[in-house]
Copies of this chain bind each other. A is one copy, B any other.
Amino acid sequence: MGTEEHLMVPIKKLKAFSRKVFMHFGVNEQDAGVASDVLATADLRGIDSHGVARLITYHDMLELGRINPEPEITITRESASTATVDGDNGLGLVVGPKANAMAISKAREAGSGWVSVCNTNHFGAAGHYVLEALEHDMIGWAMTNSTKLVAPLWGAERMLGTNPIAIGFPGLEQPPIVIDMASCAAAYGKVEIAIRKQEQVPHGWIIDKDGHQTVDPQAMVDGGAILPLGSMRDQGGHKGYCLAVMVDVLSCVLSGANWGPFAPPFALRQEIPGRSVGRGIGHFFGAMRIDAFIDPDEFKRQIDEYIAVFRATKPEPGTDGPLIPGDPEREAEAERRENGVPVLLPVINDIRTVAEKTGLDPEF
């Protein structure tokens, strides 16, 4: 967040306003509550790009009728441990939690549950879903594709989304290990921030429209692309590309959604692909019951020990040593539950726009 101008807002107020906005467009009360919960998880955990900052886009998509506020979510195929879900073009914030709950319910019966979802939209922060699984003593997985922003290694155009992978493992006394990572070298939000601050971005993040590496963030926005995790061939850019393909196939090809460059955008200013190869975007959820593999207490004790051992790693000079995946989000959550969420002024302005258009009062 740094020194950028912001307003501190209690999470309850953000959540209440999102909920009212969803209900304004005909989302039922329960679904609107769930959707605003998913956004609130991101705002609390410091994943600012996936919280209330996106509310205006959800608003615009609902207003234009591009998202169905009352989806009839159906299972199109299933087995004891798997299902394919058609989200009926509902909010990803509604379809995602329901599909994730199906994975958890399958896991309860069959040991594990795996749900691939088509005909859905942006589902918020992937980490939210694995936290749900943790509540049930399960290992949770979540993936999704998204609008094209990332070039495959040796490509000079956007072909893949930032395609995140999330997975969580519960501890006993220690908090859980929660992994939630995009499969590209850097977040698009960081490129935008660099433009706003008139700064260069680090080497290895982006290419320009001709496929040349650059440190000028505007060159990425003007038809360039983000590089996959690992950046170039020598540093393992082929591996990040592989991960993005893995997420894409599990979320989209397996469910019948639009993969790769055909993912419909989640922003009005982005162009809609001229071709469609499926329905909506796709997600992939997994849940594995820990006691289907090992005594859960034994597992959690080992996770506690794992955390202790990795915290005790000899630190790289100039650092405090390795973090445990999930540390930054947990710290943000503790701080923000106490002091509120620092919402940047441009986001506050977006919220005011939404308030004006809907006639709803954000009460902050």
Measured CB to CB, the residues of A under 8 A from B are 77-84, 109-112, 114, 116, 139, 151-157, 159, 165, 167, 169, 177, 179, 181-186, 202, 204-205, 207, 210-212, 229-231, 234-236, 238-243, 245-246, 249-250, 253-256, 259-261, 277-278, 288-290, 292-294, 298-299, 302-303, 305-306, 309-310, 313-317, 319-323, 325
The answer, among B84, B109, B235, B239, for a CB contact under 8 Å with A80, is B109
Contact B231 A235, beta carbon cutoff 8 Å: yes
Task: Decide yes or no: A84 and B294 within 8 Å by CB, A177-B245, A181-B239 being known contacts.
Answer: yes
Contact A77 B315, beta carbon cutoff 8 Å: no
| A260 CB contacts on chain B under 8 angstroms | 306, 309-310
| A254 CB contacts on chain B under 8 angstroms | 139, 290, 293-294, 299
A242 to B241: give the CA distance in the assembly, Å.
16
| A109 CB contacts on chain B under 8 angstroms | 80
The answer, among B155, B253, B322, for a CB contact under 8 Å with A152, is B322
Contact B177 A236, beta carbon cutoff 8 Å: no
The answer, among B169, B278, B323, for a CB contact under 8 Å with A249, is B169
Task: Decide yes or no: A289 and B79 within 8 Å by CB, A211-B316, A321-B154 being known contacts.
Answer: yes
Smallest Cβ distance from A136 to chain B, in angstroms?
14
Least CB separation from A183: chain B residue? B239
Contact A114 B230, beta carbon cutoff 8 Å: no
A322 to B155: give the CA distance in the assembly, Å.
5
The answer, among B84, B155, B303, for a CB contact under 8 Å with A293, is B84
Contact B202 A234, beta carbon cutoff 8 Å: yes
A90 to B182: give the CA distance in the assembly, Å.
37
Contact A79 B110, beta carbon cutoff 8 Å: yes
Smallest Cβ distance from A186 to chain B, in angstroms?
7
Smallest Cβ distance from A259 to chain B, in angstroms?
6
Contact A293 B245, beta carbon cutoff 8 Å: no
| A211 CB contacts on chain B under 8 angstroms | 314-317
Task: Please indicate which of the listed interface residues A182, A185, A231, A234 has the most CB atoms of chain B within 10 Å of its own CB.
Answer: A234
